[in-house]
Structure 1
Amino acid sequence: MPSLKVGLLALSACLISFSSAAANTMTLSGEYSFYTDEMSMEMIGKNICMSPDAQTGKQIPRSKNDERQLWFCFSDYEQARKALDIPNQAPEKGCGYSGKLTVEVSDYHVNQQQNDDFDVAKLIKVINYQKPDVIECMP
């Protein structure tokens, strides 16, 4: 009869294989955004998000039949805000900030539910970035 320790190890291996997280690091390039308008704050909250480009986005762990747009938010808002020099306050005329960047991320968690939640990743290092531009508000 297997020991409890062997059983727990087997269970842990099964859970890890079905996890929606990528623990290894990825280097991604694309565009970041931080929306400050009321509707975006209700939907996304106070989060800085990234849309990887098509080439580097191939690293993101998605199933073949998952055709959702590739984007995620950084798990630590304050760390990302400081690293990307995003002002702490909303722009006087505009609805947020955006720019291009290349970053290293880890602990990528895919939201596999059909809901309003989003993927999340931990920002490890900013390799390069464009100072934030103000996002124009949509009419």
Structure 2
Amino acid sequence: MPHIKTGLIACILLGITAGTSVAASNMVLSGEYTFYTDEMSLEMIGQNICMFPDTQSGKQLPRSKSDERDLWFCFSDFQQARKVLDIPATPPKQGCGYSGKLTVEVADYRINEQQNDDFDVARLVKVISHDKPEVIECQP
């Protein structure tokens, strides 16, 4: 019986960690962030603030050469990211969210290597600089 338990635990742990890899060190990244508040975006991405690193700093992201996906990830702690980026707690009256430029330090970068709707995530360690949030115009 112990072999069955050990095998079951190993399968569960493998299932939890499969398709995920983690960056070994902290990274300083520059780029743009977005937080969409429209119904369709919230349904697809959820309540997440996501970052799109610029080409130069994006080279730090731990991706395989065969991974051709766009470089982007979401911060793992929405409330903390919203607060330190000064993103209003309420959606804009006219618009579908907020965006701005930023430079941040992130850690615990987790790559989603599965073919599913999940996305990469990273823990926001520190905001080095950021623009005041601008309202994102809604697309027709």
Q: Same fold (TM over 0.5)?
A: yes
Kept in 1, the 8 Å contact 2:20–2:113? The answer is no
What percentage of aligned pairs have identical amino acids?
72
Deviation, 1:30, is 0.1
1:25-65 deviation line (CA, Å, top 9, x unaligned): 00000000000000000010000000000000000000100
Q: Name the residue aligned to 2:67.
A: 66
Deviation, 1:115, is 1.1
Secondary structure of 1:41's aligned partner: helix
Equivalents in 2 of 1:114, 1:120: separation in Å? 15
CA RMSD, Structure 1 to Structure 2 (Å): 1.4
TM-score (structure 1 length as normaliser): 0.86
- Superposition pairs for residues 106-125 of structure 1, below 5 Å? 106-125=107-126
Deviation, 1:23, is 3.4
Secondary structure of 2:112's aligned partner: coil
Structure 2, unaligned runs of 5 or more: 1-16
**Aligned: 1:75 with 2:108:** no
1:88-139 deviation line (CA, Å, top 9, x unaligned): 0100000000000000000000000111110000000000000100000000
TM-score (structure 2 length as normaliser): 0.85
Q: Where has structure 1 moved over 2 Å in runs of 4 or more?
A: none
Aligned length: 123
